Amino acid sequence: MPIKRVDRRKDQKLLVLAGLGGLVLIAAPVVVFSQAMGEQPSPWINAGDPAGSQFPVETGTYAVQPTQVSPLPGTAARLDKSGRLVLVASGQNREVLSNSQAAPSAGSDGAGWVNAGGSAAGDPVIAMNADGAQVAFVIGTNGALLENYQVKPSTGAVANWRVLGGANLVGMPAVAQDAAGKLVVVARAADGSLWKSQQTEPGGKTWAEWRSLPMPAAYDPAIFRDSRGKLRIFATGPDGQVRTIAQAGLSVDDWNAPQGLGGTMTGPPAVAMDDQGSLRVFALTVDGSLLDNVEVSAASDTWRGWQSRGGQFMGRPLAVADAKGCVVVHVLTVNGAVQEIFQLPDRKSWSEWHDRGGSIAKLVSSALDSQGRLVVYGISKRGGMEQTYQTIRASGPWASWESDLGGVFPTN
């Protein structure tokens, strides 16, 4: 009887496959355990990554540029790819000026103001595009929205503004990425109506037609993506009531009916997200006191009601989450001093007011630097840009106001 030949190559392959399977079985519990221990940050917490969340996409055998989605809306100051804070502001001659930190840390000297051109009727903001580039937006003197993809203060900006349309727009636009990475811009018109437009694809240069939203806006709107990925727009109406409107689904151009949050406010709202994933809204009353409202739970769109934090303030409050997820608010007094209030560790109560000093005519922006320290920018009563910052991450003390940034800016 012939002896059957043994194929040793097959046996070797089986041994290799069995070994790989064993490694998977060993590694899987480790992965599950690390997730259970919370090593992965919550999706709504800004970890200070200037590039945002990256989603690589492959087409055939070629990998395309990954989509980068920032958790933060556009503001006048934000981190670029190199980890430096970039700041934009409107100059005395209605041009847009940009500056950046000379090094990725708070308090470092600025690289110097660069004239980016344009014809600004309001204050500019910068947002991150899906390709990771900084994009500036401003409403022009012609009432249309202007866009500039070439905000590069370190190498010299280019006056390359593109008109995105819109009619009779005023004030400062609100910008954020949706869940897919498309930029969405919201702005108010002189008649108090609210308008929006958005990129037709993430990072694309084609924008959808402007459409009106069924919500009045007497002041500049605010926008934020909630912890489930839906964009939410907030605006104070001519009746003083703050209202909000949410996307009907992720990355769609359909919107739910507006919801009234009540109140009798004067001025624009400010929005931030706490480390529980709940949105918090801040606004000033007619007598100048600060009120805040918070969702009952993350992305619930159900609100607890307004609570007064006292004070006598003016202008737009600035709200931002610090490196530990604590919401910090800065507001300007009628005498030009900056006051600060922040959440306490229990996230249910608030600190007393802290005087951060200054002789400021207009607050411009607050942001985290690459080391997680808060930086606040403001235009002094003399017209120059000044800054103050935390000397320790998510803590004090704060540095004295510095006027090294210079420049000349409108104080109203």
Determine contact, residues 293/304, Cβ cutoff 8 Å: yes
Percent above pLDDT 90 for the chain: 75
- Structure tokens, 9: 């190559």
Predicted pLDDT at 52: 67
Predicted pLDDT at 31: 34
Rounded to an integer, what distance in angstroms lies between the CA atom of residue 80 and that of residue 235?
28
Question: Is pLDDT at 29 greater than 50 in this prediction?
Answer: no
Can you tell me which residue has the tokens 């690589």?
A: 56
Quote the distance between the C-alpha of residue 323 and its chain's center.
14
pLDDT tens-place string over residues 282-331: 999 999 999 999 999 999 999 999 999 999 999 999 999 999 999 999 99
Give the predicted TM-score (pTM) of the model.
Answer: 0.86
CATH number of 67-406: 3.90.1280.10, 3.30.390.50, 2.120.10.70, 2.60.120.10?
A: 2.120.10.70
Annotate 331-389 with three-state secondary structure: EEECCCCEEEEEECCCCCCECCCEECCCCEEEEEEEEECCCCCEEEEEEECCCCEEEEE
Rounded to an integer, what distance in angstroms lies between the CA atom of residue 143 and that of residue 139?
6
Band (pLDDT 50/70/90 cuts) for residue 339 is very high
Predicted pLDDT at 23: 38
What are the two backbone dihedrals, phi and then psi, of residue 175, each rounded to the nearest 5 degrees? -135, 140
In angstroms, what CA-CA distances link 228 with 86, 135, 182, 275, 363? 28, 25, 16, 14, 30
Determine contact, residues 278/262, Cβ cutoff 8 Å: no
Q: Average pLDDT, stretch 148-167?
A: 74
Q: Average pLDDT, stretch 268-281?
A: 97
pLDDT tens-place string over residues 349-364: 999 999 999 999 999 9
Predicted pLDDT at 48: 53
Predicted pLDDT at 46: 53
pLDDT tens-place string over residues 169-204: 999 999 999 999 999 999 999 999 999 999 999 999
Predicted pLDDT at 348: 87
Predicted pLDDT at 60: 46
Average pLDDT along the chain: 86
Band (pLDDT 50/70/90 cuts) for residue 104 is confident
Band (pLDDT 50/70/90 cuts) for residue 5 is very low
Question: Is pLDDT at 32 greater than 90 in this prediction?
Answer: no
Question: Is pLDDT at 64 greater than 80 in this prediction?
Answer: no
User: Between these two residues, 14 and 91, which has the higher pLDDT value?
Assistant: 91
In angstroms, what CA-CA distances link 68 with 1, 49, 177, 223? 68, 11, 10, 19
User: Between these two residues, 62 and 238, which has the higher pLDDT value?
Assistant: 238
Smallest CA-to-CA distance from 115 within 354, 409, 412 is with 409
What are the two backbone dihedrals, phi and then psi, of residue 9, each rounded to the nearest 5 degrees? -65, -40
Question: Is pLDDT at 249 greater than 70 in this prediction?
Answer: yes
Question: Is pLDDT at 84 greater than 50 in this prediction?
Answer: yes
Rounded to an integer, what distance in angstroms lies between the CA atom of residue 160 and that of residue 150?
7
Q: Which helix (H) or strand (E) holds 26?
A: helix 8-36
SS3 call for 193: coil
> 2-6, 74-78, 79-83 — which is least confidently predicted?
2-6
**What's the Rg (C-alpha) of the chain?**
24
Determine contact, residues 356/339, Cβ cutoff 8 Å: yes
Predicted pLDDT at 10: 44
